Structure 1
Amino acid sequence: MHIGLISAAFPPDLDGIGDYTWWLAKTLVEQGCRVTVFTRGGNCSEVPGGLVNGFYDPARPRSFGDLVQLLEDGEAPDWVVLQYNPFSWGARGFCPEVARTWSRLRSDKGEDRVRLAVMFHETMVPRWPWKFAVMRTWQSRFFQRVCTASDRIFVSSGRWLTQVTATQAKGRASILPVGSNIPVSPISREEARDRWQIPHGTMVAGIFGGAHGSRRIDWIAEAAKRYLAQAGERELLVLHVGPDEAAIGRVLEGIPFRSLGVRPPDQVAEALRAMDCLMSPFVDGISARRTSAIAPLLNGVPVATTVRGWSDAVFRTADERALLLSQAQDGEGFARDFLAWLPGVGAAGGEAAQAFALREFSWEGICRTLLMELESTNFK
């Protein structure tokens, strides 16, 4: 199968969707597919065995329309898969050319046209506050048009499925996890601690990512304080890897804290391997798009997080030692759940975490699911 992947960004850009597209392309090639990436012009990382076509100029959003002629002039893929976040394709998510071009590709050639799939990393902003409400007026229209024109629809989290259903699009919709751009480190926990000069007997609780409002750093601080109050002689270190060191450090004042800052992916993996567990309570709960929780699981690190109505059902299939799904509504409740969960984790928790993540979130598994869904789609 020849697959085209369309992304506004691509490595070496510091962009999550660009990274996702590179990993997806690489793995699809390894699984025997022909892959062409359609992305922005300029310097782009190579995809071993694949092609990268830099056709899009972010400074000229209308250049997305050049995709039509590009597909007509060359050997069109069997499927093209649009990586969609409205903000990727236009300021404030204003991307009329994407919706217009997608509709044109659907209607141009009848049965001979290229098949269209979309992967929604984001759909549109919420209805509130008022700035979001204004942006939603156009983002919702573009979302509707892209859904209607697509033969197959993928979403990064089940929370978007209701929105897709409301468009009455004919293309079937399902969840496709986003994977992780952090590799699986081959070193042991002991080796990782030696590299970062962390004493082996220390209890290392991790934080991965920045001080984004979606993550409750104050709840992490509450859990760490409760641990210190009952830990006895075992020392605690809250180890952070990612941006916003100062902001996180202020919330964790008085708690043993060390930040490694922003690191290359291989060093991030080594930092994760040094952790006994990772704390990541999300305001809206864990979901299949939370790579800051998926990357630790892949590296054998049990994760303490929160579950909400939007959380994807797949996480409930994980071993309880691998994943704490706290229903707490405040920091005290999360701390109680964390302290009750932690003693049962042990080495088996790390093994269970990695086994679960490899089953559900490996790039090989994601690509197999993608290919199976595309091959089974009735083309109308």
Structure 2
Amino acid sequence: MRIGKSIYLDHQATTPVDSQVFAEMTPYFAKCFGNPHSTDHSLGWESSQAVEAAAATIGNLIGADADEIIFTSGATEANNLALLGLARRAAGGKRGRVLVGAIEHKCVLAASRTLEQQLEYDVQYLPVDEQGLINLSMLEQHLSEEVLLVSIAPVNNEIGTIQDINVISKMVRAVGALLHCDGAQAPCAIDMTDMAEFADLLSLSAHKIYGPKGIGALYIRRDLHPQIEPLIYGGGQQSNLRAGTIPVPLCVGMAAATRLLCSSDAVSERKRLRGRTTEFISLVQSLSWPVLLNGPDAARRHPGNANLRFEGFDAQDILRTLQPYLAASTGSACTSGIPEPSHVLRAIGLCTAQADGSIRFSLGRETTDEDIHYAVELIDHALERISRSSAVVR
């Protein structure tokens, strides 16, 4: 898709709000604006019913009930509530260990460090292979009755690796531990229908699935509710698990986006997206520059993900040269203004130079064949310009 001059290939960072989603949200900003926690009048009841319906729709995506869906400000808050909320209630008990995938999102890793530093949990990070797949034998070695929680994302946000959550869940539950999944990237990549059977806690985000920013949800298995310490205290909303007035329009928008993922077109849409991504990768690799694919093959990767390594180039140079005509991103993060190599790419065995030469292109449902062909031309021209400039400097 094109936004002004730019071809947008950064859908794993965020997606545009679908027009149908926007249409369903709109009445709840000005017409049906009642506080869903106002129990004394019909406007409040109307909003409350809209929130309950939204929770039921989101629950249906993963095979959960409405009362097991807790709305949050996004997946980051949901991940924090899952890890910190559970660990704070269980602190000092016999289960003092937590296992976390080495390529989890930064917010999961940051919350895990908090468990170590503030709550004195023994947190161990599970290694992955060159495709980003969790080393299951290592997981089995680390699992014991001392483990409280295992946190593994079904779909990675940088290289798109799809984990076998079914197998992982059986291993985790065999020792009585709980499984948390950061599912922010999963709904556009895999069938989520039975996910609540495998995960005990599951984080979701609306803006990764063509819904609005600022809203997410945490699925918490019903019997686990008493074991979660809230992060936010107040009026006791959402079963005393997350206080604050629920943003009705955003909940409605997240539900509308979820409903589209449950449609009969979802499977064929993922298939079309995978085919287009495969073509894009092939076209880029057919250029006269050395380009390698990071991570797994198509069968085990998010259908819109193409994390490409440009040997001998710096990703930031490429992206700057492409502006304002193509939007993509690196796996790098800036902490206090200091660029760092992607922890995901380092975990799959890349050196710093290889990680620094990698760009994540992520295609979406509105990406066209024309978009990818033009994007490949832009990339070719950018590499040519950088190569000429480097030759002049030398």
Q: TM-score, normalised by structure 1?
A: 0.26
Q: TM-score, normalised by structure 2?
A: 0.26
